[in-house]
Chain A
Amino acid sequence: MDKLKTIFSSVLGISKESIMPELAPQNCSAWDSLNAIVLVTEIEKAFVIRFKFDEAMAVKNFGDAISLVRSKGGKLDE
C-alpha cells in the first residue's frame, strides 16, 4: 500500500498520513483532471499494469484506485 500512497502523495503534494480511502477530487483540490492523468500513468508504471480508459476514468476516490490496482493483478503489499 505504501507504493500507492507514495504515488498519491507525490503527485498531489499531500502527506501520506492524510490518504484515506475517501480521498477524492471533492475533498482534495490538487486532484484535478490533469493530476488524475499523472496518477493513472504513474500507477500503471509502478505496478506494471495497464488500465482501460474507462476504468481509469471511473476511479472516484483512493479506495477505487486500490481495488482497480488489485483487480489488474498489481501487487499492493510488496
Chain B
Amino acid sequence: MTIIRPQWRWWSSMQTLRYLELANKYEQQKSNDFPAKISINLVTNFTDVTLRKILVGVCLESNIYPQIYSVPYKQYHFFLNDKNNELYSNKADITFIFFDTNHYITSAFSEDPTHFSETADRVREFCQTQTGQVVFCTFALPYAGPFGNLFEQNNFFSQIQECNRQLSELAKDRKNLFVFDINRLLHSFGEQNARDHRGIYAFDIPFTNDFFSYVASEWLPYIYSLTGKIKKCIVVDLDNTLWGGIVGEVGAKGIALGHEYPGVAFQNFQRALLACYHRGMILAINSRNNPADVDEVFAANPHMILKKEHFAASKINWNDKAQNLLEIANELNIGVDSLVFLDDDPVNRELVKNRLPDVLVPHFTISPEEYVNKLFSLNIFSQFRLTDEDKDKGQMYAAELKRKNVMSSAKSPEEYVAQLGIVIDINLNNAGQIERLAQLTSKTNQFNLTTRRYSESSITEFMSNDMVYAGDVKDKFGDYGITIMAIVKVKEKKAEIDTFLMSCRVMGRGVEKAFLDYIIRELYVMGVDVLVANYIVTAKNLPAKDFYSVMDFTILQNDEWRTDYKLYINDYLNKHKSANEQIKILVNNPI
C-alpha cells in the first residue's frame, strides 16, 4: 500500500517529537519553581492525551508554562452540565473546546441533531461563569460521502454547516467566547494528511499527531496574548527580501521587481507586508546597504508597493543587524520580544538568533514565491480582537518618524510641541470607549500613576458613579487615538484621582499636563476645592514619578512605594491663569 505522506513544507515532522520531549521533561520536573503558569482547560469528545501533551510542548517552546486540565474521556456533557467540578472551579485563563464529528464513525453530535444546541447552551452558561477566555473550535466539514461531488446535498454536511453558523451567533452573544475555525487549518493541511483513520476506529484519536501539533501551534497566539506577548513589528531586510538582487550592484532600476518572475513574487510579498501594515503591524527596515542607493529605489523604482512612509524605523548601514534591531526596538519604544525579523541571509539570521533569542527569526532562505505563504504561516496574526486603534498602529508608528524629524529641527521642546499642532478631543463617560479604556488600563505600564487594571465592567461602573475622562489625541501627522485617560471620584468639595495614565506613544509632548489642566479647571467649575492624588511605584512607571510635583501638587506623605499628593485648586489657578495654548482642547461630552 502506498501512503500519501504529508511533505508539509514548513512543518518538519520532527516538530511533534520535539513537543512531546519538552512536555515529558516538564512533567517529570514536578517542581513549582516555574514562573507564573497559565491555566488551560481542554474539552473534547475524543482521546485527547496526545493533543494535551503536544499543547504543553507548544507552550513550553514559547516559554509559557501551562497547567492543563482535560475533561475525562467522553464526559464533556456531564462536566458542562454539572457546575460543581474542576472544569468550572479551575477558573482557567483559557478553555479550548474541540469536538470532532466525522462521517467515519458516529458520535452524539451526528446521532442526535439536538445534541449540538444542547451543548451550545451549556457552553453559553459555562462562559457566563468564567472570567477567562473560551475558544470553541468549529466542526470539520466532511467533503466525502455518498453524495460525491454533490456533497452539499449531504444532510450531514448541511447539519455541520448549521452548527458552525450557530456557533458564530453564540460568539456574538458572549464577549469571552471566540470561534476558532478548524476548517481553515484542514484546508491548509489537507484532510488526507490530518485524518488518522486507524486512530479513529482503534483509539478514538481522529487526527494525526502532526495535525494536533498544527492545531496547538495555532492556538498558541490566544495563549500568547494572555501573557501580553504579542508580535508588533515586522523588520525586513531589503536585498533579496523586499526585492531581487543587490541594489548596490545593479542599481535602483536593475533590481528584480515588477510584472515578470521573479520580480512579481517580490512585488506580491510587498503587497502582503502592506496588508500587515493596514492590519496594524509596524514595519521597519534593517539592511546592510548605502542609504543613498535605497533612497533611490524608493524615489525612482515605479514597481515599489511599499513606500518610505510605511516604515516606522529604518536602519540602513553596515552595522551588525542585531545591534540595529535593538535600536529599532528602542526607537519604537517596544520590546525586542515583539519583533519579527525577515532576512534571506542565514548568517544574519544566526547572528540575530544568538544575540537576541526573543526575536522571532523564521527560516527565510526560500524562493521568493514562497515568501507570502511563509509570512502568513508565522502564527503571529491571531488575536482575540482587533480594535480600531490596533489596526492603525502601523500608520501611527510611521507618523512618529516624521515627528522625529520635526523634533530634530526644533530649537526647544516648546517649539517642537507647537509645531506638532496637537489637539486633544476630550470625552467624559463615553460608553462607546469602554473597550478601549479597559484595554488601556491593562496595557499601560510606563506613564501610569496607580497602575490599577480594570475590566470593561469596572469601567462601566466608574462611568455611572464617577468621572472617566478620555483623550483622543491627534496632531498634524496623524491620529494617536485614545491614549490618555483619568478616573476622578468627586465627593462634594473634594476630588480624588483614582487613575491617571497615558500611552507611551504620546509621551514627551506635554499632553498629560494639558489634559490634567483641563480636568482641574472642570473640577473648579463643579465647585471642588481640593484634589488628592497618588503615585504608586511599580517596576516600570518611573517616567510618571514626578508628574504631580510638576503640576504643583504638594506632597502629603511619602514612602518608598507610594507618594500621596494634594492640590488646592485655587492656588493652582492663581499660578496658572490660563490654559496651555500650544495644545488645543476640544470637548465632546455626550449626555
- Neighbour of A10 across the interface among B5, B17, B47, B198, CB < 8 A: B17
A26 to chain B, nearest CB (A): 19
* A61 proximal to B (CB < 8 A): no
Chain B proximity mask over A26-42: 1 for CB below 8 Å, otherwise 0: 00001000100110011
Interface centre among A42, A45, A50 (most CB of B within 10 A): A45
Q: A36 — nearest CB in chain B belongs to which residue? A: B203
- A residues near B50, Cβ cutoff 8 Å: 34, 37-38
* B44 proximal to A (CB < 8 A): no
- A residues near B586, Cβ cutoff 8 Å: none
Q: A33 — nearest CB in chain B belongs to which residue? A: B203
**A38 and B20 in contact, given A45-B13, A46-B13 (Cβ under 8 angstroms):** yes
Instruction: Give B460-517 interface residues, CB cut-off 8 Å to A.
Output: none
**A45 and B209 in contact, given A12-B24, A34-B49, A34-B50 (Cβ under 8 angstroms):** yes
In the bound assembly, the distance between CA atoms of A6 and B13 in angstroms comes to 13
- Neighbour of A38 across the interface among B13, B18, B28, B209, CB < 8 A: B209
**A53 and B49 in contact, given A10-B21, A13-B28 (Cβ under 8 angstroms):** no
- B residues near A12, Cβ cutoff 8 Å: 24
Q: Would you call the interface of chain A mostly helix, strand, loop, or mixed? A: helix
Q: Are A37 and B25 within 8 A (Cβ)?
A: no
Chain B proximity mask over A1-13: 1 for CB below 8 Å, otherwise 0: 0000011011111
Q: Are A37 and B24 within 8 A (Cβ)?
A: no
In the bound assembly, the distance between CA atoms of A7 and B16 in angstroms comes to 10
- A residues near B21, Cβ cutoff 8 Å: 9-10, 13
* B36 proximal to A (CB < 8 A): no
In the bound assembly, the distance between CA atoms of A38 and B23 in angstroms comes to 14
Q: Are B18 and A10 within 8 A (Cβ)?
A: yes
- Neighbour of B5 across the interface among A6, A34, A48, CB < 8 A: A48
- Neighbour of A13 across the interface among B1, B24, B198, B208, CB < 8 A: B24
Q: Would you call the interface of chain B mostly helix, strand, loop, or mixed? A: helix
* B337 proximal to A (CB < 8 A): no
* B386 proximal to A (CB < 8 A): no
Q: Are B24 and A30 within 8 A (Cβ)?
A: yes
- A residues near B18, Cβ cutoff 8 Å: 10
In the bound assembly, the distance between CA atoms of A38 and B16 in angstroms comes to 10
Chain A proximity mask over B1-43: 1 for CB below 8 Å, otherwise 0: 1010100000001001110110011011000000000000000
In the bound assembly, the distance between CA atoms of A61 and B3 in angstroms comes to 26
**A37 and B20 in contact, given A45-B210, A48-B5, A50-B1 (Cβ under 8 angstroms):** no
Q: Are B47 and A7 within 8 A (Cβ)?
A: no
- B residues near A46, Cβ cutoff 8 Å: 13
- Neighbour of B203 across the interface among A37, A42, A45, CB < 8 A: A37
* B205 proximal to A (CB < 8 A): yes
In the bound assembly, the distance between CA atoms of A50 and B49 in angstroms comes to 22
In the bound assembly, the distance between CA atoms of A50 and B2 in angstroms comes to 9
Instruction: Give A29-78 interface residues, CB cut-off 8 Å to B.
Output: 30, 34, 37-38, 41-42, 45-46, 48, 50, 53
**A53 and B24 in contact, given A38-B209, A42-B16 (Cβ under 8 angstroms):** no
In the bound assembly, the distance between CA atoms of A77 and B121 in angstroms comes to 55
In the bound assembly, the distance between CA atoms of A4 and B25 in angstroms comes to 19
In the bound assembly, the distance between CA atoms of A10 and B27 in angstroms comes to 13
Q: Are B24 and A42 within 8 A (Cβ)?
A: no
* B525 proximal to A (CB < 8 A): no
- A residues near B20, Cβ cutoff 8 Å: 10-11, 13, 38
* B196 proximal to A (CB < 8 A): yes
In the bound assembly, the distance between CA atoms of A48 and B1 in angstroms comes to 11
**A34 and B24 in contact, given A6-B17, A42-B16, A50-B3 (Cβ under 8 angstroms):** no
- Neighbour of A11 across the interface among B3, B17, B47, CB < 8 A: B17
* B292 proximal to A (CB < 8 A): no
A28 to chain B, nearest CB (A): 12
In the bound assembly, the distance between CA atoms of A34 and B50 in angstroms comes to 8
Chain A proximity mask over B114-147: 1 for CB below 8 Å, otherwise 0: 0000000000000000000000000000000000
- A residues near B17, Cβ cutoff 8 Å: 6-7, 10-11, 42
**A42 and B209 in contact, given A13-B21, A37-B199 (Cβ under 8 angstroms):** yes
* B347 proximal to A (CB < 8 A): no
- Neighbour of A34 across the interface among B1, B3, B47, B208, CB < 8 A: B47
Q: B24 — nearest CB in chain A belongs to which residue? A: A13
* B202 proximal to A (CB < 8 A): yes
In the bound assembly, the distance between CA atoms of A6 and B24 in angstroms comes to 13
Q: Are A41 and B199 within 8 A (Cβ)?
A: yes
- B residues near A38, Cβ cutoff 8 Å: 20, 50, 209
Q: B202 — nearest CB in chain A belongs to which residue? A: A53
Q: B53 — nearest CB in chain A belongs to which residue? A: A38
A1 to chain B, nearest CB (A): 16
- A residues near B1, Cβ cutoff 8 Å: 50
Q: B201 — nearest CB in chain A belongs to which residue? A: A53
In the bound assembly, the distance between CA atoms of A9 and B21 in angstroms comes to 7
Q: B198 — nearest CB in chain A belongs to which residue? A: A53
In the bound assembly, the distance between CA atoms of A19 and B202 in angstroms comes to 28
In the bound assembly, the distance between CA atoms of A12 and B17 in angstroms comes to 10
- A residues near B210, Cβ cutoff 8 Å: 45
- B residues near A41, Cβ cutoff 8 Å: 196, 199, 208-209
In the bound assembly, the distance between CA atoms of A42 and B209 in angstroms comes to 8
Q: Are A13 and B27 within 8 A (Cβ)?
A: yes
Nearest 3 CB-CB pairs, A to B?
Answer: A13-B24, A10-B21, A10-B17
7 contacts between A and B (CB under 8 A): A7-B17, A10-B17, A37-B199, A38-B50, A41-B196, A41-B208, A50-B1
| Given A9-B21, A45-B5, A48-B3, 14 other A-B residues pairs in contact with their CB atoms under 8 A | A7-B17, A10-B17, A10-B21, A13-B25, A30-B24, A34-B47, A34-B50, A34-B203, A38-B209, A41-B199, A41-B209, A42-B17, A53-B198, A53-B202
